[in-house]
Amino acid sequence: MITATPVRILSALVVSAALAAPAAAQKIVGTTGPVPAPVALDITGLFQEKYASVGDDLFVGGQPTEKALRDLKAKGVNYVVGRAYYADSARGEIIGDRTGFLKLIFKQADMKLLGVHVMGEQATELVHIGLMGMLTGSSAEVFSQACFNFPTLGDLYQDAADDALRRRAETDQAG
């Protein structure tokens, strides 16, 4: 399960690595012993210069998306959420996951990706696409126009981006 709460980018990588391969997490952290809790890592300055535009937040961890969305609202950030469901995907049907979903959070002004929320089978295989989008400052248009393999869960990114673009257009028309 990958849900939304702000943590450092490197912490997110350690979380994913610790789940998939503890040795990989040890290499990232630079230890041969047990990997410490990712939120306890002192990695504040790492990547800051290179990825300053990304900021400190990546929506991965254990708290519900609603907290992350409240945090954005408190910071005065207007956002648009796009959703795609495993049940509507060919790969979701193949793997038998009828309840999984992908949620993308975009900044409304420029539709840049702010966060990713994935729940379902193979979530750890899916979240890294969003991480790369965040690191590169990708917008909903990039995900909408990208060519994703079919049938894969990666294709959910295109569906969620299209949903966000539709929601933004509806908001713009109503406003």
* Each residue's pLDDT tens digit, 91-111: 999 999 999 999 999 999 999
Is 87 within 8 Å of 64 (Cβ atoms)? Answer: no
End-to-end CA distance of the chain: 36
Look at residue 21 in the predicted model and tell me its pLDDT.
52
**Which of 8-17, 112-121, 149-158 is modeled with the greatest confidence?**
149-158
Q: What is the DSSP letter of 105?
A: E
Least-confidence region, from 26-40, 41-55, 69-83: 41-55
Indicate if the pLDDT at residue 113 is higher than 90. Answer: yes
The domain spans of the chain are 3-7+53-174
pLDDT of residue 116: 87
Q: Using a CB cutoff of 8 Å and minimum separation of 24, what contacts does 51-57 make?
A: 51/9, 51/135, 53/137, 54/9, 54/134, 54/135, 54/137, 56/6, 56/8, 56/9, 57/6, 57/7, 57/114, 57/115
CATH fit for domain 3-7+53-174, picks 3.30.390.30, 3.90.700.10, 3.10.180.10, 3.40.50.2300: 3.30.390.30
| Residues 17-55: b if buried by 16+ CB within 10 A, e if exposed | bbeeeeebbbebbeeeeebeebeebebeeeeeeeeeebe
pLDDT value of residue 87: 95
Q: pLDDT digits over 12-45, tens only?
A: 444 444 444 555 555 555 666 654 443 333 333 3
The answer on pLDDT for 66 being more than 80 is no
pLDDT for 4: 36
pLDDT of residue 72: 82
**Is 80 exceeded by the pLDDT of residue 56?**
no
Choice among 37-46, 65-74, 79-88, 119-128 with the minimum mean pLDDT = 37-46
**Quick one: angle between helices 22-29 and 9-20, nearest 10?**
150
pLDDT over 70, % of the chain: 62
**Both structure tokens of 29:** 């952290």
- Tell me, what's the pLDDT at 30? 60
